[in-house]
Amino acid sequence: MFLNKTITLQTACFFYMLFFSITIFAQQPVDFVNPFIGTSNYGATFPGPIAPRGMASISPFNVAGPQNRPLEKDSQWLSNPYVNENTFLTGFSQVNLSGVGCPELGVILLMPTTGEVEIDHLKYGSTYSNEIAKAGFYSVNIDKYKVKGEFTASKRVGVSRFTFPKGQSNILLNLGLGLTNEEGAMIKVVSPTEIEGMRSVGSFCYNSPEDAYPVYFVARFSKPAKNFGVWKKTPKYEGVEAKWMGYNGKTRIMKNTIKTVVGDSIGSYFTYKFDKQETVEVKIGISYVSIENARENLEKETGDKSFDSVYKDTYDEWNQELSKILVEGGSNDDKTIFYTALYHTLIHPNVLNDSNGEYPNIKRSKIRKTDGTRYTVFSLWDTYRNMHPLTSLVYPKQQSDMIKSMLEMYDENGWLPKWELNSTETFTMVGDPASIVIVDACLKGIQDFDIYKAYHAMVQSADQTEGNPLRPGLKEYIEKGYLSTNYPGPVSTTQEYNTSDYAISLLAKALGEKEDYKRFTKRSLSYRKLYDKDLKLFRPRLANGNWYEPFDPESGANFQENVGFIEGNAWQYAFMVPHDIKGLIKLMGGDKPFSDQLQKVFDLKQFDMANEPDIAYPYLFNYIKGEEWKSQELVKRLVQEHFQNKPKGLPGNDDAGTMSAWLVYSMMGIYPISPGDPIYTITTPMFHRVTIKLDPQYYKKESIVIERQENNDGKINSIELNGKTLNSFFISHEDFVNGKILKVIQN
């Protein structure tokens, strides 16, 4: 009897521990990720799999079809391969961008079909159902063919698994489709289990055709095809819509005897005949160097690994990265939007180098090799404001490698990057943001790179008036202190140059460069020459110094073009001097006029949560003693209104993780209010406890905890660091990372 009781007790304990383990596993950070967030409302994210900062990614491609809007009519349908509302699937693209505002990549489309081979995407496309998306995994049922598709990815390899019904089945590889129309592609059938080739890309934000570059691939199939072939379409375009929506030229389908085809609208097919339900896996290695490297990437990263094994490795890697921040309290939806946001900040910048270290240099004139990681996709006008500061705090080794990548670009191109994409400098947007990113990281203790080279590079971009691609109009800026209407977006650009100059002044001071410190500090304040005291707004000036007329402060909202500003209007740029808010308060006449004008931005509904110039404005009330509660209420309301656990759960374009980084910081209760300055401002955390694990290579402490102590969810009453009360709503990065517990106490 006693023995039976012991066995029963042991069994009960076993099942309890098993249940406990399963429960804990189900609550891992990676399991809260919902990749569908941001796939609507212009968020420009995609739901398919990618490894952390991976080169390869797979996305369902549903923006070309008769049931969907024409691509050219709406930017949402241009900038990413997937829009949640669409219903017509034409394949699965193998390289994609997340959260960018211009079309690029979305190419090398794989598509399973059944029956006779059809190579016109308008005819072979299908509706789809039962989508499932997780970090590193996506699956869907393709209705027309009763085929199930499952997808995962390693760093440089996309892995697809198709479950086919009995009968003839086909796998198409289409190089004619994509988000852009660059010319040039090649496909070669190497064997009944392997295809290799390349596809030209490179017209990001309407760059010239000269900027096109190749993406190479090798596709390997788990089962040999019974038949295979290639095709080439000869399109006869009649206007833009015909170019996007279909072809009316001739098509040549070439079977087994012809194994290679070169052209613009080409593809290949593998055909099987199954006696019963069968599964075929396809691994596609990617490289920006060569076909040989794509094959090596495939073999080194996935080799003989099964689909499930690749997914497990990627799942574990995502969980490791996401677990650098652990949150307690809050609802499951709170955790979902938080960890999905953190997930989105870990997509770009992404790896460019192959597994052997090779990558194309910035001018693509030669192949170089790195012993570390060469990163690409630097959307710096967006990401300098919060995404890179977040990376410095939570992933400092990655940030260090990103800065080393920037300095390599400087060696190769003579300039720091502005908006670099796959070793092509697009020079998109305005300002000189790389300096801010480098200084911000350096002053936070990330200094394992050539600081003096970095300083020389940023001073060059700030001083060289001739042939400077980073700072157009620099000569006028230096002479007048601002850009006139002779240049696009003169007010915005002046403010961006000011912010960069301030960052340079901080590094100059740290390096003992006293004259540079004084010079760049003075330059950083020249925004004041564009301040109209009557309007209490910034406005453009003509080259002769007169105000530009007629001037409408609201013109430029919702990305409309206007004379003075880039992607915004006078209200949305009214406080875009993050480095000198105290000076702006004085310029506006003191605390009350400043606060009143700031409040107007929100009362007049001029605040735009979906764009960067005013993204820090909700936190600016922290500069006014006694009004910090406004920041607390604003941030909480904006999170609730604009970030949700659904496809429309981002306020707009994620901008390579910038919107997501804003959310991560806001839910933790801190924000990097002045990019370049190693300081944070504080608001109410949205979890009871947040633990940030710190990298011992860069920080002394193992972790820092942010804790919320509340009685009735009221205003912040006091803030303590290690039990000592802070006398402001600001904390230095050094004090923060060397602390133990930052406690926010509410009334």
Residue 243 in any domain: the answer is: no
Tens of pLDDT, residues 36-68: 999 999 999 999 999 999 999 999 999 876 655
**391 pLDDT exceeds 90?**
yes
> Is there a single domain that holds both residue 139 and residue 48?
yes
User: Facing residues of 730 across strands?
Assistant: 681
> Is there a single domain that holds both residue 494 and residue 625?
yes
**264 pLDDT exceeds 60?**
yes
**pLDDT number for residue 251:** 56
> Is there a single domain that holds both residue 55 and residue 96?
yes
**pLDDT number for residue 233:** 77
Q: What is the pTM of this model?
A: 0.93
**pLDDT number for residue 203:** 76
Of 248 and 265, more confident: 265
> Is there a single domain that holds both residue 306 and residue 421?
no
| Residue where a domain stops, chosen among 320, 347, 377 | 320
Residue 465 in any domain: the answer is: yes
> Is there a single domain that holds both residue 393 and residue 475?
yes
**260 pLDDT exceeds 80?**
yes
Query: Average per-residue pLDDT in the chain?
Result: 91
In the predicted model, what is the mean pLDDT of residues 520-538?
A: 97
> Is there a single domain that holds both residue 296 and residue 365?
no
Q: How many domains does the chain have?
A: 2
> Is there a single domain that holds both residue 549 and residue 688?
yes
Determine the Cα angle at 200 with ends 197 and 205, to 5°: 150
> Is there a single domain that holds both residue 312 and residue 405?
no
Q: d(Cα 30, Cα 706) in Å, to the nearest integer? A: 21
> Is there a single domain that holds both residue 685 and residue 725?
yes
> At residue 421, what are phi and psi to the nearest 5 degrees?
-140, 110
In percent, the amount of the chain with pLDDT more than 90 equals: 84
- Of the listed ranges 76-85, 396-405, 514-523, 596-605, the one predicted with least confidence: 76-85
Residue 231 in any domain: the answer is: no
In the predicted model, what is the mean pLDDT of residues 285-310?
A: 98
CATH number at residue 110: 2.70.98.10
Tokens of 285: 């290695």
**DSSP secondary structure string for all residues of 4-56:** HHHHHHHHHHHHHHHHHHHHHHHTSGGGG--TTTTSSTT-----S-B-TT-S-
Of 251 and 549, more confident: 549
> Is there a single domain that holds both residue 532 and residue 627?
yes
φ/ψ region of 486 (left if φ > 0, alpha if ψ in -120 to 50, else beta) reads: alpha
**pLDDT number for residue 345:** 98
Total number of residues shown for the chain: 747
What SS3 class is residue 350? strand
φ/ψ region of 512 (left if φ > 0, alpha if ψ in -120 to 50, else beta) reads: left
> Is there a single domain that holds both residue 165 and residue 48?
yes
What's the count of helices (H) and strands (E) in the chain, helices before strands?
19, 34
- Of the listed ranges 12-21, 125-134, 270-279, 646-655, the one predicted with least confidence: 12-21
**pLDDT number for residue 6:** 37
Identify the band that residue 258 occupies on the pLDDT scale cut at 50, 70 and 90.
Answer: low
Q: What is the identity of the amino acid at 348?
A: H
Cβ count within 10 A of residue 290: 16
**392 pLDDT exceeds 90?**
yes
Tens of pLDDT, residues 683-742: 999 999 999 999 999 999 999 999 999 866 689 999 999 999 999 999 999 999 999 999
Write out the residue range of the structural domain in which residue 677 sits: 324-746
Residue 247 in any domain: the answer is: no
> Is there a single domain that holds both residue 357 and residue 506?
yes
Residue 127 in any domain: the answer is: yes
**pLDDT number for residue 208:** 61
Tens of pLDDT, residues 222-249: 999 999 999 997 544 333 322 322 333 4
Tens of pLDDT, residues 530-561: 999 999 999 999 999 999 999 999 988 777 77
Tens of pLDDT, residues 468-511: 999 999 999 999 999 999 999 999 999 999 999 999 999 999 99
In percent, the amount of the chain with pLDDT more than 70 equals: 90
